[in-house]
Amino acid sequence: MQADTLLKGGTVVTMNPARRVIDNGAIAIRDGRIIAVDTAAALQSGVKASETQDCTDHIIFPGLIDVHAHAGHALIKSMGMHGGDRWEEICGEVYTQASPPAFWYAEARLAALERLRFGVTTGVSLLGGGDTIMRTDDPAHAAAHCRGVVEVGTRSMVAVGPTRAPHPRTYAHWTEGEKHRHAVSFAQQFQTCQQIVGTWHDTHDGRIQIAMLYPVLRDEHERDMPPAAYAAACEQAQVVRAYARAKGLIFTQDGHWRGSVRRVESLDLLGHDSLLSHCIDLHEDEIALIAATGTKVAHNPSANAAILGRCPATELMAAGSTVALGSDATAPDRSADMFRHMQQAIHYHRRFFRDASVLPIGKVLEMCTIGAATALGMADRIGSLEPGKSADIVMLDLRKPHLFPLNMALHRLVCFANGNDVSHVMVGGRMVLRDGRATEVDEAAILSNAAAQTALMIDRIGGTADLERPLDFWGKEGDTP
């Protein structure tokens, strides 16, 4: 058997239906796909490879998948996070008024590089805040994001959609340092989304996928929306959902909680190709609705929403639903390190039930590998190490004090590892991270460009004060022992 690459040695975690784990395993790859998975002894004699990668003392597993994050946030991170709603205000201002395509390109490369170095090969990225701050006034912004991701070498499912009614919304373009404001209608935003789908969906060997989004609909009393605006929002949501169905796209919404699932069910927004994020404090009938319709859930245990309420992830899975992990990164206090979010998920639910057996270690690994691939409708391509699937593969170095001794590798992976332990990453059979360094881009140039675009953004919004350490950073007076 001829192969391009043979990975041999180490512990191979396949995540196949039998959840096979192979000590001293091997994986053969050809033309970007896995062609064989077995013990090193079984493959070494029968495979001739152009390149052999020695993975001794490593654990080898499918590329991690982050089913909920935000494009744009990596250049804002913790700005204004101590000022109540100031963080959200900054997002709204930046994404509508202070983010030309160069901003989205710089941010995409930085975020993709962060994901890559943490072993996250596929991630959902909402093009903005997901509520009323989507950057879909012009397809140039999504194009800039997609170009940045492609250069780094990871996969991105870019979620685009209109802002919630009422329209028009005011956006700004920057030309040679000059700001030009313009009103944007729902029709223009929807047309922009259609252009993005036509240009980018399932391109670059499938590394770019497009999903459709409409903001979560809560009733007019909760949102102080006039009845006419709420009726328009309901109609718009149905238009976007119908388009997603017609094009075979994932439909996603950010921020479900306390009755909102009932509302979207009445609008026929649920289904096997629908991905709802957060889903905190759901009612019993909403859990049943999600299960009955095959709707998927993005659980973000490290997000602020998980503080405000609880996602009943374990109950949803017990009802038969697919629940996958998201980072809700990057902001205001969390990274794209899915190891952190796996560990957070375990303790989040065990603390709730006061039971250390809740959410088994293997189950939480499923939630950001094969379970996440299922949630994105991509389980036939990624999420497990099986012949025929794309060679999206992570190698994690176990030769670290916090990961020793070399036993119980799966426990080390989920409970002790962090993203900085990743040594090598393959996406589609290409080694895009080798010995902890990206192979296809200049990391220093990405960091420099991100810093420059951030400085411009801060100047445009007059946001210098949002970088200051607050007076109560060390606690209020009298709190210090």
pTM of the model: 0.96
What is the token pair recorded at 457? 């953004």
The CA radius of gyration of the chain, in Å to the nearest whole number, is 22
Q: At what angle do helices 443-461 and 86-97 cross, to 10 degrees?
A: 100
pLDDT in tens, 199-257: 999 999 999 999 999 999 876 555 667 888 889 999 999 999 999 999 999 999 998 99
Which pLDDT score is estimated for 83? 85
Residue type, 400: K
What is the token pair recorded at 26? 């091997």
What is the token pair recorded at 340? 């952190």
Tell me the C-alpha distance between 334 and 364, whole Å.
19
Tell me the C-alpha distance between 165 and 159, whole Å.
18
User: Which of 334, 341, 328 is closest to 277 using CA atoms?
Assistant: 328
In sequence order, the β-bridge partners of residue 427 are 430
- Residue numbers of the chain with a pLDDT score lower than 50: none
User: Which of 277, 274, 288 is closest to 245 using CA atoms?
Assistant: 274
Backbone angles phi, psi at 97, to 5 degrees: -120, -15
Which residues are CB-contacts of 37 (< 8 A; sequence separation ≥ 6)?
12, 14, 16, 22, 25, 26, 27, 28, 385, 386, 387
User: Which of 16, 7, 8, 9 is closest to 406 using CA atoms?
Assistant: 9
User: Which of 378, 308, 375, 299 is closest to 338 using CA atoms?
Assistant: 299
Residue 118 CA to chain centroid, in angstroms? 12
With beta carbons less than 8 A apart as the criterion, state whether 62 and 385 touch.
yes
Residue linked to tokens 């903005």: 128
With beta carbons less than 8 A apart as the criterion, state whether 129 and 92 touch.
yes
Tell me the C-alpha distance between 410 and 415, whole Å.
8
Which pLDDT score is estimated for 178? 82
Which residues are CB-contacts of 147 (< 8 A; sequence separation ≥ 6)?
105, 108
SS (H, E, C) the chain: CEEEEEEECCEEECCCCCCCEEECEEEEEECCEEEEEEEHHHHHCCCEEEEEEECCCEEEEECEEECCEEECHHHCCCCCCCCCCHHHHHHHHHHHHCCCHHHHHHHHHHHHHHHHHCCEEEEEEEEECCCCCECCCCHHHHHHHHHHHHHHCCEEEEEECCCCCCCCEEEEEEECCEEEEEEECHHHHHHHHHHHHHHHCCECCCCEEEEEECCCCCCHHHHCCCHHHHHHHHHHHHHHHHHHHHHCCCEEEECCECCHHHHHHHCCCCCCCEEEECCECCCHHHHHHHHHHCCEEEECCCCCHHHHCCCCHHHHHHCCCCEEECCCECCCCCCCCHHHHHHHHHHHHHHHHCCCCCCCHHHHHHCCCHHHHHHCCCCCCCCCCCCCCECCEEEEECCCHHHCCCCCHHHHHHHHCCHHHEEEEEECCEEEEECCEECCCCHHHHHHHHHHHHHHHHHHHCCHHHHCCCCCCCCCCCCCC
All structural domains of the chain: 2-62+384-438 (2.30.40.10), 68-375 (3.20.20.140)
Residue 132's CB: how many other CB atoms inside 10 A?
17
With beta carbons less than 8 A apart as the criterion, state whether 295 and 270 touch.
yes
Tell me the C-alpha distance between 315 and 287, whole Å.
8
